[in-house]
Amino acid sequence: MKKVALITGGSRGIGYGCAEHLARAGFDLAINGVRAEADAAPALDALRQLGAEVVYCRGDISKHVDRGVVLAKVREKFGRLNVLVSNAGVAPKVRADLLETSEESWDHVVGANLKGGFFLVQAAAKWLVEQKRADPQNFSGSLIIVSSISATVVSTNRGEYCVSKAGLAMVAALFAARLGEYDLPVYEIRPGVIKTDMTSGVTEKYDKLIAGGLTVTKRWGTPDDVGRAAAALARGDFPYSTGSVIMVDGGLIMPRL
C-alpha cells in the first residue's frame, strides 16, 4: 500500500515542487489549496502523470472548519495519512514599514501562516499518533513544516511575516519534542530566496542582491530545490534527525567575511 502525503499549498510554487518529488518517490497525494479545483487541474493532472493518485482538498487552513474538511476528505479518499507537508502561507498584501504594520495585515498573515499552520499540524499529529498506536510495528509517518529564512533573517518591511515564520520554527521544535515518544519525526525546512509567484514582485531586487553575493550559490532557489529536501525527509532518509532544520538557501545565512 502506497504512503499518503497531504501537502498544503501544493498546486503551485514550493508546494508543487514538494508534491512533484513526493509523487516521484511513490506517494499518493492530497493537495490542498484555496483555488477552485478547475484552476488547479493542470497541476493535479501533471502529478497524476507521475503515477500518484491525487485528490484535491480545497480549503483555507486559517479556518477551523476548512481544516476539518480537508482532513476529512483525506480520510474519505485514502483512509490514512503518513506525511503532512505544512507549506501553505501568505505574504503581506502590502510591504509596510514596521512602524506602520496594521492589525489587519497581522491577522491576515499570522492567521494563515502561524495559527493555521499550528492547528493543522496539531490535527495531523493526532491522526499520526492514532495510526502509530494501532500499528506500532508497521506504521511510519512524519511532519514537515516549511518555514523560511525569515524565521531568523529580519525584514523590517514585513515584520508580520517574519514573526509568523519564527513562530513556525518553534511549532516544529515543539511537535518534534512531543512526538518523540511515538517515533514520529518532525522536520523544518527553511527556504531562502525562491523563485515563485510570491517573489515575482521583487525579482529585480533579488537579481541584483544575488549577483552581488547575497548567496554562496549564485542563483535563485527553485521549488525543485525544496521538493528534493522534502522528499528525502518524507521517504525517511533521516530517521534520527527529528527536530532538525534543513536550510535550502544557497548559503545565504552562512556567516562570511
Q: Kindly state the average pLDDT of the residues 32-42.
A: 97
Please state whether the predicted TM-score (pTM) of the whole model is above 0.85: yes
Q: State the cell numbers at 71.
A: 482532513
Pick the range with the lowest mean pLDDT from 101-105, 196-200, 229-233. Answer: 196-200
pLDDT of residue 225: 98
Q: pLDDT, tens digit, for every residue of 78-119?
A: 999 999 999 999 999 999 999 999 999 999 999 999 999 999
Edge-to-edge strands, sheet with 83-86: 54-58, 28-33, 4-8, 83-86, 142-146, 186-191, 245-248
Q: How far apart are CA 24 and CA 171, in angstroms?
A: 28
Decide if 231 contacts 22 (C-beta within 8 A).
yes
One of 16, 56, 161, 187 is an active-site residue; which one? 161
pLDDT of 197 over the 90 cut: no
Q: How far apart are CA 136 and CA 131, in angstroms?
A: 8
Cell numbers 502523470 label which residue? 49
Active site residue 161: yes
Whole-number mean pLDDT of the chain?
97
- Name which residue leads in pLDDT, 171 or 202: 171
Decide if 217 contacts 193 (C-beta within 8 A).
no
Q: State the cell numbers at 76.
A: 474519505
51: left (phi over 0), alpha (psi -120 to 50) or beta: left
